[in-house]
Amino acid sequence: MATFSFVSVRLSWYSLIFFGLVLTQVECLKDASIDRIFTEEELSSYIGENDGPIYLSVLGEVYDVSTGKDFYAAGSGYSYFAGKDGTVAFFSGEFEDTTEKKNILDYKPNQIAAMEEWRAFYEDHETYFFVGKLEGDFYDSKGHPTQYLNDIKEKLNIKEEKDL
Ligand code: HEM
């Protein structure tokens, strides 16, 4: 009897350790599927210096556009977009930073659609790829969409419904 309880206590300990290990693995897998979150400062270093990668952000989604260095590297026509979120410039064509912050919700749905088309361009591109999200206007520090992004998407949906 005493042997039996000794064995069962040992078995329970083994099962606890086993399930603990399984849970740790599951947590690791969950973490691995979480998007990388960039701060503005981190993103600003990806401008292709010393042949390093070039990242840009549109609507808070960060893409590696290193293969497009002829467009985005320093001194090229679209270098403005490198290392930052250029969402508004994708529509306005103004490739200069201003102190005045523009509210995307003030734009017409078809103007917002142009920004979304650029986002889709990067998402679908053969040699550019998604690398994470930018913490700021569109995503919070955990990568969840902000109310602002939800409102922008809602305005976009209204446009798509009207287009049908
Ligand atoms: C709102 C204004 C504009 C924006 C935001 C814009 C943005 C861009 C971007 C981001 C690229 C690079 C695409 C890539 O990574 O493959 C590009 C390429 C290009 N853009 Fe613009 N552009 C604008 C206006 C113009 C205008 C007015 C012209 C012509 C007068 C023009 C001519 C071109 C050309 C020729 C390319 C290269 C296309 C290729 O070789 O595949 N863009 N543009």
Would you list the domain boundaries of the chain?
Answer: 1-33, 37-163
Number of residues that make up the chain: 164
Give per-residue pLDDT as tens, 51-110: 999 999 999 999 999 999 999 999 999 999 999 999 999 988 889 887 788 899 999 988
Contacts of 89 (CB under 8 A, 6+ apart): 80, 81, 95
- Calpha distance 119→116 (Å, rounded): 5
Q: How far is the CA of 78 from the centre of ligand 1 (A)?
A: 8
Q: Is the pLDDT of residue 30 over 50?
A: no
Q: How far is the CA of 77 from the centre of ligand 1 (A)?
A: 8
Question: Do the beta carbons of residue 127 and residue 30 sit within 8 Å?
Answer: no
- Calpha distance 73→29 (Å, rounded): 35
Class level of CATH domain 37-163: alpha beta
Range picked from 8-12, 14-18, 143-147 for highest mean pLDDT: 143-147
- Calpha distance 158→155 (Å, rounded): 5
CB of 77 closer than 6 A to ligand 1? no
What pTM, to 2 d.p., does this model score?
Answer: 0.81
- Calpha distance 74→48 (Å, rounded): 8
Query: The tokens of 6 are what?
Result: 């000794």
